[in-house]
Structure 1
Amino acid sequence: MKITITHLSTVSILFSLAAAWIPGEHREILARDGENLFKRSVPISDSISNNSSLPSVSKVRCANLGSLYIIEPWMVAKSWESMGCGSTGSEFDCVKLLGQQRANEVFANHWSTFITQSDIQRMRSYGLNTIRIPLGYWIYEDLVDRGTEYFPQGGLAYLEKVCGWASDEGIYIILDLHGAPGAQQPYVSFTGQLSPKNFYNDNNYERALRFLEWAANLVHTNDNFRNVGMLEVVNEPATVSSQAESLRTEYYPQAFQRIRDAETKLQIQPNKYLHVQMMDKRWGSGDPNQALNDTSYAAYDSHTYLMFSNTPVDKDTYIKTSCNDDRSGNQPTIVGEFSMGVPQKFTSTQEWTSKNPNNTEFYQKWFAALISKYEKQLGWCFWSWKTELGDYRWSYDEAVQAGVIPMDVNTALQMDVCAAYT
């Protein structure tokens, strides 16, 4: 999520598969309809004694675990301050400030308290069938240059626990390389380091590729990761032509090959391959398929934040724009990030603030409009599950508790908000 520590700033803005994995089931169980991944009723994992099930769904319905393994200070300012990170703007800077030992302690406390098993259970109770987990490459600690890079240690044990909880609940998991070696975007906290974008070179590509190999091995050999079905190879990469071309022609083909080579070495059958996810061509980095010889089990990610567009800030216009938002491009596409945030200058005004109960109906309708379009594609992942902003426009959990997002998401779709706008 491309937002600065101080204020929200500008963000740039599955398909011919024979079989694919279904959220809510172990990866080994295959969909019978490659065009509609999640057509069947989705039983919860065999480990659930009551054999309950999620509603019958055909789409990804998902929340991001933002600021769990890559903390973005703008989202969790109170925690950031209590950790002793002060005015630092990234994990790199906080660890450098605190020193490795103290940093390891405060980050471990964050990992163990920010998202708990009850959060995962509540997601399931809300009908969510998927989680997207943003990760920094440094969670694979062998990749970190301890002489020049400063990142917390010990995160893998907590990631294993969260994925185990989600797998037990039958929730599908997307692991997202959100913070790449060298930073894929300049001076943004979601990369874990406030630095120029130095990802686009052989050395850092190689480190990212090693991360993907490691992750593929982890998923296929550790039972806690059994419901991971997708690896996103880099979040929100550069859109500058030379770097984007390098991404498309060098990094993406190698990422596919290294993941498939890792699976081949483990003798994984093709029908159990991980999906490999890239930002779709609407992102601005060009067509991710340009240099790919085989797009089997490829998937695509589209991010959309209306607040960063030039859309007139008017409630009716916002709903109309969302109802007519065509997210089609590369297929299959998941809208991996979106929120109900509005431009900073309007966010606290009476007409727009989430504190004004008179605005509740608008946000109910807007959410319904958003997901009705995203479910024309493969589905969606809200940014984020939890924040410390006190603002349901950025917190799925708070939005449900406020009655803005219904516990049964189908209720929002049944509103048919877009009928009057399309």
Structure 2
Amino acid sequence: MAEVGKRFKSRIMTTHLPQTSRLLLISGRYLGLLICYLMSGGLFCLGQTLSPLHAAGPRLVDASGREVVLRGYNVGGWLLQESYMLGTDTLNSQWRIQQGLLRTMPEAEVEEFYRQYRKNFITKADIDFLGKQGFNAVRLPFHYDLFLTPAQRRARTAVLRNPRSEAQLSAYVEQLGTWHDQNQLFTDENLEGFRFIDDVVNWCAANKMYVILDLHAAPGGQGTDRNINDNFRPLDLWKRRDKKGRLIYQDVTVRLWEKLAARYKQDSRIAMYDLINEPHNLNAANGLSADNQELRALYARLITVVRAQNDQHLILLEGNGYGNDYTNLTPDKLGVRDRTNLVYNAHRYWCTNAPEATDPNPNQVNLIRNLVAFRDRWQVPVWVGETGENSNEWFAAAVQGLNAQNIGWCHWNIKRVDSGAGLLRVAPYGSLLTPQGRTALLRNVQFANCQINRDVLAALTQTAGTRAPFAPHTIPGTIPATDYDLGRDGVAYHDSFSARTDYRDHTPPNQGQAYRNDGVDISPSPDAANGFAVSQLEPGEWLTYTVKVAAGGPYTAELRLQPGTTPGRLRLELDTQPVGTVTVPAGTAWTTITLPTPVLPAGSHTLRLLIESPVSQLGGLRFAPAASTGEASRK
């Protein structure tokens, strides 16, 4: 496989399967499709465009034996809302958001809002965009409640109206048991969950992209974090029993994967089944085993039920501890007959990317060295199902380190509200609990209304050492300080703190948390030409700008800045040659400092601004021909 920075040129290039609703209109295909449908029990088999994937030792390969490295994006926040990505942190989970909406809206209106939200949040335009960037995979996180009928979902909604009522929750659990026993779960082929999967699979196939199905919110909840698994009680997937003594949420989970496997077993456009997202806090302190016994037992059931459908899809396992701890879950411990086509997952956040770093527990795999050692020890494929939520410097180091080891990855997440960390920035919308806020949200989440965070995209797709212009800069002209080049710390810029590598340290690398997602600190500023200024400039930090000098000659540089409490000192270089140094008197008011330059040669050059002594903020640099400086300053 080619590097991600080379746009995945070795992706399988074939034609895509038309949408099911158009199949009957395609001349010459109807009979073959009908025969395939009747033989397989599935909807998608003839005209498949992507080769089925399987495990060959530690590699993922297609039907021809060619290795396929899946590199893509998560479309989270769509089929399960996570509060922090929506900017509703105080609500903490999807059911609490719904609970807030139900205080002011009838249930039918809440359901209609969610239909519109799901219609707008991810569309074919979003998937087409990912395909054009060279990604070859999409992980689809979903909530199990999308596979409930409207009547069944109303029963769950009754619980969130009164979540502290144990009686109400027990009543829902007993209903689940009844529906399970009467085979009334997940039997309607037109359920929302199936429709969304079908849409995404079709959209992705048109872009030669594989899909990974991810049960992100499992029945009962796979951990303690409500934001992730939308549970009413912590760890109920592992603990809650019905009146018959059954772990009924587990039975429902098994039934769901049984139905998914029966429906999609012949669909080679789906790469993997991610059985349970991020199980976590399964430990003795929470009344469970200390060595993943409960998780191992459920995985054995899930693997068995999928294979019983004659489904040979790759199965992605996630360890305890948010997807990383495989104690008692290694292939020799799983307790299943069929161990083929298993893939082991890691979720990598806020940890070091240093290739030599290792965890003393060989079954803890979020560090790259442990992940490689686990793959080599057990001869199984490994894949990073989630990574991100950091700065561009961390993103680039992570994907370049994984690419070097031929390990695939899927970045989190495609969209976030008012955040530079996502691929697409959703504009703020106000309050979700007001009609105006909801209307704005439904509008803002649409692809056409999102801002593409080009710096994030560059971090994920550029090779190490690459530097590229963030914006065109011409001398004479004005250069916003925030529009320094794209590239890693040490290549395009240097900042004293450019990435989080300790989950306990929540300091943002960009402490102004505005405009870009690098380590450079950027804050909103009305005194800067573009409304943003580089702030907290410290000694030893620097910024580079690719510039085009239109005409050779001497210039006057004007630096628009806010001084610090002590005198500052800034130096300019052009292609490593000195341009000049300015001293900035201490103060607090924004001011303009001028610097006469030597003759600047015409052509393309690299301009570097170095901080020798600190200043508070830098808004931009303006270059005017020396002969017209007086006239320019009067303008």
Matches within 5 A, 1:243-262: 243=289, 245-262=292-309
Q: Distance in 2 between matches of 1:96 and 1:154?
A: 21
* Residue 73 of structure 1: how far off its partner (Å): 1.5
Residues 216 and 276, structure 2, Cα contact 8 Å, conserved in 1:
yes
Q: Tell me which of 336, 341, 358 is aligned to 2:390.
A: 341
Q: Which residue of 2 aligns with 1:12?
A: none
Matching residue's letter, 2:317: M
**Do residues 135 (structure 1) and 142 (structure 2) align?**
yes
Q: Which residue of 1 aligns with 2:69?
A: 59
Measured at CA, do residues 284 and 101 of structure 1 come closer, stay the same or move farther in structure 2, by a change above 3 Å? same
Q: Distance in 1 between matches of 2:460 and 2:345?
A: 24
Q: Which residue of 2 aligns with 1:292?
A: 336
Q: Distance in 1 between matches of 2:387 and 2:253?
A: 25
Measured at CA, do residues 32 and 139 of structure 1 come closer, stay the same or move farther in structure 2, by a change above 3 Å? closer
Residues 339 and 384, structure 1, Cα contact 8 Å, conserved in 2:
yes
Q: Which residue of 2 aligns with 1:278?
A: 317
Q: Tell me which of 220, 235, 256 is aligned to 2:265.
A: 220
Q: Tell me which of 380, 388, 397 is aligned to 1:369.
A: 397
Gaps of 5+ in 2: 1-10, 15-47, 161-190, 240-246, 359-365, 426-449, 467-486, 490-635
Q: Which residue of 2 aligns with 1:47?
A: none
Matching residue's letter, 2:457: I
Matching residue's letter, 2:85: M
Question: Structure 2 length normalisation: TM-score?
Answer: 0.47
Q: Which residue of 1 aligns with 2:629?
A: none
Residues 395 and 460, structure 2, Cα contact 8 Å, conserved in 1:
no
Measured at CA, do residues 33 and 399 of structure 1 come closer, stay the same or move farther in structure 2, by a change above 3 Å? farther
**Do residues 94 (structure 1) and 132 (structure 2) align?**
no
Measured at CA, do residues 37 and 141 of structure 1 come closer, stay the same or move farther in structure 2, by a change above 3 Å? same
Measured at CA, do residues 61 and 146 of structure 1 come closer, stay the same or move farther in structure 2, by a change above 3 Å? same
Residues 55 and 342, structure 2, Cα contact 8 Å, conserved in 1:
no
Q: Distance in 2 between matches of 1:257 and 1:166?
A: 28
**Do residues 303 (structure 1) and 331 (structure 2) align?**
no
Q: Tell me which of 214, 232, 238 is aligned to 1:200.
A: 238
Measured at CA, do residues 149 and 295 of structure 1 come closer, stay the same or move farther in structure 2, by a change above 3 Å? farther
Q: Distance in 2 between matches of 1:151 and 1:66?
A: 24
Residues 178 and 191, structure 1, Cα contact 8 Å, conserved in 2:
yes
Could you tell which deviates more after superposition, 56-65 or 202-211? 56-65
Q: Distance in 1 between matches of 2:64 and 2:452?
A: 23
Q: Distance in 1 between matches of 2:407 and 2:159?
A: 34
Q: Which residue of 2 aligns with 1:332?
A: 381
Q: Tell me which of 438, 460, 463 is aligned to 1:412.
A: 463
Matching residue's letter, 2:251: E
**Do residues 189 (structure 1) and 217 (structure 2) align?**
no
* Residue 138 of structure 1: how far off its partner (Å): 1.3
Q: Distance in 1 between matches of 2:232 and 2:67?
A: 40
Measured at CA, do residues 206 and 414 of structure 1 come closer, stay the same or move farther in structure 2, by a change above 3 Å? farther
* Residue 369 of structure 1: how far off its partner (Å): 1.7
**Do residues 240 (structure 1) and 296 (structure 2) align?**
no
* Residue 338 of structure 1: how far off its partner (Å): 1.0
Q: Tell me which of 46, 51, 55 is aligned to 1:29.
A: 51
Q: Deviations over 1:372-405 (max 9, x none)?
A: 22231531010001111321x2336889642343
Q: Which residue of 2 aligns with 1:157?
A: 195
Q: Deviations over 1:282-326 (max 9, x none)?
A: 7235242322333201111101111xx5x6xxxxx9899699832
Residues 38 and 58, structure 1, Cα contact 8 Å, conserved in 2:
yes
Gaps of 5+ in 1: 1-21, 43-55, 81-85, 312-316, 343-362
Matching residue's letter, 1:62: G
Size of the aligned set, in residue pairs, is 337
Q: Deviations over 1:325-375 (max 9, x none)?
A: 322325311111111426xxxxxxxxxxxxxxxxxxxx3x53332112223
Residues 296 and 328, structure 2, Cα contact 8 Å, conserved in 1:
no
Matches within 5 A, 1:3-18: none
Q: Tell me which of 373, 391, 403 is aligned to 2:455.
A: 403
Q: Which residue of 2 aligns with 1:211?
A: 256
CA RMSD for the aligned pairs? 4.0
Q: Deviations over 1:138-168 (max 9, x none)?
A: 1211595743556998454334222221122
Residues 400 and 407, structure 1, Cα contact 8 Å, conserved in 2:
no
Matches within 5 A, 1:310-325: 325=368
Matches within 5 A, 1:142-181: 146-149=154-157, 154-181=192-219
Q: Deviations over 1:165-201 (max 9, x none)?
A: 1122221000011111111111421212353111114
Could you tell which deviates more after superposition, 327-336 or 136-145? 136-145
Q: Distance in 2 between matches of 1:144 and 1:36?
A: 41
Q: Distance in 2 between matches of 1:300 and 1:24?
A: 27
Residues 341 and 394, structure 1, Cα contact 8 Å, conserved in 2:
no
Matching residue's letter, 1:170: K
Residues 27 and 229, structure 1, Cα contact 8 Å, conserved in 2:
no
Residues 279 and 302, structure 1, Cα contact 8 Å, conserved in 2:
yes
* Residue 38 of structure 1: how far off its partner (Å): 5.4
Residues 347 and 386, structure 2, Cα contact 8 Å, conserved in 1:
yes
Q: Distance in 1 between matches of 2:212 and 2:71?
A: 12
Question: Structure 1 length normalisation: TM-score?
Answer: 0.68
Q: Distance in 2 between matches of 1:71 and 1:332?
A: 30
Measured at CA, do residues 59 and 183 of structure 1 come closer, stay the same or move farther in structure 2, by a change above 3 Å? same
Could you tell which deviates more after superposition, 90-99 or 374-383? 90-99
Q: Deviations over 1:31-54 (max 9, x none)?
A: 699354358999xxxxxxxxxxxx
Aligned partner of residue 405 in structure 1, secondary structure: helix
Residues 52 and 269, structure 2, Cα contact 8 Å, conserved in 1:
no
Q: Which residue of 2 aligns with 1:10?
A: none
Instruction: Please tell me whether Structure 1 or Structure 2 has the larger radius of gyration of its CA atoms.
Output: 2
Q: Distance in 1 between matches of 2:463 and 2:424?
A: 14
Could you tell which deviates more after superposition, 126-135 or 394-403? 394-403
**Do residues 390 (structure 1) and 419 (structure 2) align?**
yes
Measured at CA, do residues 112 and 203 of structure 1 come closer, stay the same or move farther in structure 2, by a change above 3 Å? same
Q: Distance in 2 between matches of 1:366 and 1:150?
A: 43
Could you tell which deviates more after superposition, 244-253 or 203-212? 244-253
Measured at CA, do residues 209 and 23 of structure 1 come closer, stay the same or move farther in structure 2, by a change above 3 Å? farther
Matching residue's letter, 1:412: T
Residues 385 and 396, structure 1, Cα contact 8 Å, conserved in 2:
yes
Matching residue's letter, 1:279: E
Aligned partner of residue 68 in structure 1, secondary structure: coil
Measured at CA, do residues 371 and 246 of structure 1 come closer, stay the same or move farther in structure 2, by a change above 3 Å? same
* Residue 102 of structure 1: how far off its partner (Å): 1.8
Matching residue's letter, 1:161: D
Measured at CA, do residues 103 and 297 of structure 1 come closer, stay the same or move farther in structure 2, by a change above 3 Å? same
* Residue 220 of structure 1: how far off its partner (Å): 3.2
